[in-house]
Every structure is written in C-alpha cells, then in structure tokens.
Amino acid sequence: MLPTPSVILFLHSTPVLSINILGVFMVPSISHQRVFQSVWSELSLRGHNVTVVTPDPLNDPSLTNLTEISLRFTYDFLKQPKIRDIMSKESNIYLNRDATFRFMDALAEVELNSTQFKELIDDQTKQFDLILTEYFHPVMYALAGRFKAPIIGISSRGVMAVIYTILGNPTHPVLLSLWNKIKSVLWSLWSWYYHHAILVPRGHETAMKYLGVDIPYIGDIEANQSLFFLNTNPLVYPPRPNVPVVVETGQMHIKPVKPLPQDLQQILDGATEGVIYFSLGSNVKNVNLENRVRNTIRQALSELPYKVLWKWESDYLPGRPKNVVTRMWFPQQDVLAHRNIRAFVTQGGLQSIEEAISRGVPLIGMPFMRDQPMNVQKIIDMGIGLGIDPVTMTKEELKKCIIEVAENNKYRERIQEIRDILYDKPMTGLEKVVWWTEYVVRHKGTKHLRSPTVDFSW
C-alpha cells in the first residue's frame, strides 16, 4: 500500500531541529525593515536560533530565541546633508546610481567598522548554519565566507535587472519603442559593467579590510547564493520567468487583525457616517509639505461628510478641523480592517497598497517621490482607486476624488476581488520563507537548483 500523503510529506521533510541563523539587514529604512522583521521574528518563533544585525530591532522580550544587534546609529548617518543632496538632486540615472552606491559603500563601511559588528565578526565561538542578507550591497555576502555557511539573499521588493542576471534569470523581454530599446540595452550593459567591474571589486576591498584577506571573492559568493527571496506580487510587478533559486514571497508584513486600542475602537465604532484614513507614510513628512499643499489638504478634509484619521508627526495640528483626529501613529493594518473605513489616502508606498488590498479598502494615491507615481498609476490601472497630483490639486478636486472613491462601490468591489486572487495560494509568503530556509540547511545548499546560465561567461 502507498503511504498516505501526510506520510509522504513527513518523509520528505525531516524536521530541522534548530538552525543557527545570522540575518544582516543593512539599510536604515523602516519600510524595508518591516518586511525583514516579520521574517526574523517568525524564524525565531519556529524554534530557530536567530541573530540579526539591523537598524530597527524589535526589542520584543517575548522573542526568546532572538538576539538583535542594533545599528540604530545608521539613521543619523543617513541624515548627512551631503549624501541626501547628491541622491535627490542628481537626475542623470547613471550618476544617480553611482552616487547611491557610493553612499551604500560608505554605509557598509561604518557598519562593518562599528564595535557591534566587529565583536560579531571576531567572535571565534560563533557558528552559523545559514546567513540571510539584504542584497542591497554585495559586501555583506562576505559573511558567508567568514562563517562558511550557505547564504540566502532577500529583498523587500523587486530588484535591479543585474541581480536577476547574477541569479541566472532570463532577461525580461520588454515591449519598447526602438529608442527606448536602445536606452534599455545601454543601461543594462552599463549596470552589468558597474556591478561587476566597480561595485563588487570595491566591496571586496572593504570585505578584506574587515573580514580578513582570505575571504573568498564576494562576486563568487554572490553567484553562489542558495536562494533569493523576492518580496513581489504579480499584481504590482509584471509576472516574469524565474529560475528555481528565486522564490517569490509577498505580503510578508501583513499581520492577522488585532483588536484596536479602546479609544480608537470607540472613535471608529461611533463614526457610522464613514471614516477616511489619511497617511503619507514614513518618508513624506506632513510638516515638510509646502504650506499650500498642507492647507489644501486640511480644507478638503474639513469639508468631507466623514470622520478623518490623519497620521501627523505630532499630536497637535494647528487649526485642526472638528471631524479630524490626528495621531503620530495608528495601528494601520487594524484601522483599515474596521468596517466604517471608506477609503485610504496614501502616498502610494507598496506596503500601504498591500495593506489596503489585504483589508479590501479602496485608495486615493497622492504620490510625492521615488516609485510612488508608478505605484499610483497601478492603483488607477487596477481600478482599485484614483490618483491625484499633490502639486497641482485644488481643494475641490481632492474632495471630489475622496468622495468618489468612498461612495462609488466599484473601487471597493474591485479591490476585494484582487484580495481574493492574491490570497488564494497554497502557502503564505512567510510560510514559504520558513520552509525554504529549512530546506537550504537540510540539503546543505541548493547546488542541484543552480541554473547553468549563472556560469555563462559574458
């Protein structure tokens, strides 16, 4: 007789008792770190022994299998005006990319040079079975050489084309006009050259300086990653073919709905006229908004026939309209789950969009920078809300836009349809991460999954 399916499953996945995992998440940006926080806390809750180096430790005493090494100081490093200037003012993409990576080089160096990091690297008693690292700078790949352990790369979103090439992924055929095709080819070639001839050798110098001269070449370690966790979702990123070492996760930071604090619960329960949730995320600061934009927003919100929850950096908003409640922080995922929430005004961050989808709340996208305009265009294309330009909008336009999304049921119906598609899958992103992480340790790497294209010379 054949064994039953559950027996087969058991035979094929001999449980790994407890893995010693080192996680290194180097970029001081809470929207990235929030994704990784879910990963490291979940791995520790599954009984693995997890050590992480991060600018955003959770400091949660209930996570007893977790050791966090804080790199909080990197947030101050990020504030240096010189660096911010270069990155925000340089519009030439080639120079901008170079400036970004020079900044990343400097960031990696201050991190590796910190006492916290040095203690970890120099501790000869430390042993790890697996290294998990944010892919952003190849220098951290050197840790796999130092601890002689397999490595898994992870990204909180999609990655640059050159990273796909390193993993052996076929390049995505894009439909572009001739001129755009030429630009795209030049950009790919330049990125490839920059990565392999400049960034990695420079990173290797740094790696040798802090981890010893006998460290394997970090470019080889990078090509030798056992897996790469990619936090994308097929509705926001176009689907693409992936080699087996690329594991798509998604919705990593979405938590089950928790009860609201009592005061918020009362406010929301009482607002049967409907509630608009307004938050521009953690990077767009309301206080830095131009006066005109801020006044337009305030006036439009004050004239809405709903209650408004406005995430604002201080508990005091001068001239706060009667229907507006401001807080420095809201438990956003739980607020969005409340039945009286009609719509969510967002700057268009990917994670906020995912949260809105998971709670089925339609959106008004008000993009300010970076990938936000592109994401807001997606909101419009998917039919899950509307977009408005904060620079040119008038009070009447903003008001009309919010009321349309709040009252016209088609946006809510569409976003709930999208949620049903997104959540219809055999395992969640986090479950995938846990399963595949244990898989790498069970089989001592994934040599058998390596695509031959990784080893093609160019």
Ligand X SMILES: *[C@@H]1O[C@H](CO)[C@@H](O)[C@H](O)[C@H]1NC(C)=O
Q: How far is the CB of 226 from ligand X (least distance, A)?
A: 6
Give the residue with the Cβ less far from ligand X, 206 or 232: 206
- Using the structure block, give the residue that is written with the tokens 């999954």: 449
Nearer to ligand X, 68 or 355 (CB): 68
Instruction: Tell me the window of 115-123, 214-222, 351-359, 396-404 that interacts with ligand X (CB under 6 A).
Output: 214-222
Residue from 85, 119, 220, 269 binding ligand X (CB under 6 A): 220
Q: How far apart are CA 443 and CA 221, in angstroms?
A: 18
Q: Name the residue among 350, 332, 348 with its Cα closest to residue 389.
A: 348
Residue nearer to ligand X on the CB measure, 45 or 293: 45
Residue (50 or 254) nearer to ligand X, CB? 50
The footprint of ligand X on this chain (CB under 6 A) covers a number of residues equal to 13
Q: Which is nearer to ligand X, 27 or 221 (CB)?
A: 221
Question: In terms of CB distance, is 1 or 213 closer to ligand X?
Answer: 213
**To the nearest whole angstrom, how small is the minimum distance from the Cβ of residue 120 to ligand X?**
20
Burial class (CB in 10 A: 0-12, 13-18, 19+), 437: buried
Min. distance of Cβ 161 from ligand X in angstroms?
23
Q: Minimum distance from CB of 141 to ligand X (Å)?
A: 9
Q: Which of 268, 298, 289, 112 is nearest to 205 (CA)?
A: 112
d(CA 237, CA 355): 16
Token pair of 418, please? 């999208």
On whether the CB atoms of residues 295 and 288 are closer than 8 A, the answer is: no
Quickly count: other Cβ atoms within 10 Å of residue 378's Cβ.
Answer: 20
For residues 239 to 278, the per-residue mask of contacts with ligand X, x marking binding by CB under 6 A and - elsewhere, is: ----------------------------------------
Q: Is 221 in the site for ligand X (CB under 6 A)?
A: yes
Q: Rounded distance, CA 299 to CA 321, Å?
A: 8
Q: Which stretch binds ligand X (CB under 6 A): 42-50, 238-246, 300-308, 431-439?
A: 42-50
Q: How far apart are CA 87 and CA 270, in angstroms?
A: 45
Which residue's C-beta sits nearest to ligand X? 445
Task: From residue 194, give the alpha-carbon distance in Å to each of 13, 91, 198, 203, 205.
Answer: 41, 18, 5, 12, 16
CA dist 373 and 349 (Å) reads: 9
Rule CB under 6 A: which of 43-72 touch ligand X? Answer: 44-45, 47, 63-65
Minimum distance of ligand X from residue 18's CB (angstroms): 5
**Segment interacting with ligand X, rule: CB under 6 A, options 40-48, 50-58, 259-267, 283-291:** 40-48
216 interacts with ligand X by CB under 6 A: yes
- Can residue 385 be called a binding residue for ligand X (CB under 6 A)? no
| DSSP letters for 114-146 | SHHHHHHHH-TT---SEEEEETTSGGGGHHHHH
Question: To the nearest whole angstrom, how small is the minimum distance from the Cβ of residue 66 to ligand X?
Answer: 7
Query: The tokens 């991460």 sit on which residue?
Result: 433
Which DSSP category does 423 fall into? T
The residue (of 74 and 224) whose beta carbon lies closer to ligand X is 224
Burial of 187 (0-12, 13-18, 19+ CB in 10 A): middle
Residue 191: CA count within 13 A, CB half-sphere: 18
CB of 63 to ligand X, least distance (A): 6
Phi, psi (deg, nearest 5) at residue 281: 80, -165
By CB under 6 A, the residues from 124 to 153 that bind ligand X are 150
The site string for ligand X over 149-168 (x = CB under 6 A, - otherwise) reads -x------------------
Q: Which is nearer to ligand X, 47 or 212 (CB)?
A: 47
Question: Going by C-beta distance under 8 Å and a sequence separation of 6 or more, which residues neighbour residue 1?
Answer: none
CB-CB contact of 227 with 152 (8 Å): yes
Q: Does 445 bind ligand X (CB under 6 A)?
A: yes
Local structure of residue 449 (DSSP, 8 states): G
Choose one: 177-185, 213-221, 249-257, 426-434; the region binding ligand X (CB under 6 A). 213-221
Q: Which is nearer to ligand X, 148 or 370 (CB)?
A: 148
- Binding flag, residue 88, ligand X (CB under 6 A): no
What residues make contact with ligand X under the rule CB under 6 A? Answer: 18, 44-45, 47, 63-65, 150, 216, 220-221, 224, 445
